[in-house]
Amino acid sequence: MFGSGNCRDAKRMVEALGRSLAIIEFDVGGTVRAANANFLGLMGYDLAEIVGRHHRQFVTKEESDAPAYGEFWGALARGEYRSAEFLRVAKGGKEVWIQAS
């Protein structure tokens, strides 16, 4: 379906992914640009609480202060792909494990 070259089919696929996955979008510096309802529900935030804020609000202070955290964002800014299971911190300090790319 996706390879058919039909833009409508591609749009439907993207919409289906948005309904089934928790999605958040960052700029290359780590600032939140957008998030879907699934992500907001998982993390306990409203969109207005996270847009314009840095990704570090979703990690522990220890992680955000570690050199590896800066290296992670540097790699993403260079276009390097990352996919793993990550511990994230939701609103109120709840720990959430996610599989992310």
Residue 85, pLDDT score: 96
The residues of the chain scoring below 50 in pLDDT are 1
Specify the pTM: 0.83
Residue 5, pLDDT score: 65
Q: DSSP state, 54?
A: B
Q: Which residues contact 19 (CB under 8 A, 6 or more apart)?
A: 38
Cα angle at 28 between 70 and 55, to 5 degrees? 60
Domains and CATH numbers, the chain: 2-100 (3.30.450.20)
Residue 4, pLDDT score: 57
Give the H or E element holding residue 58: none
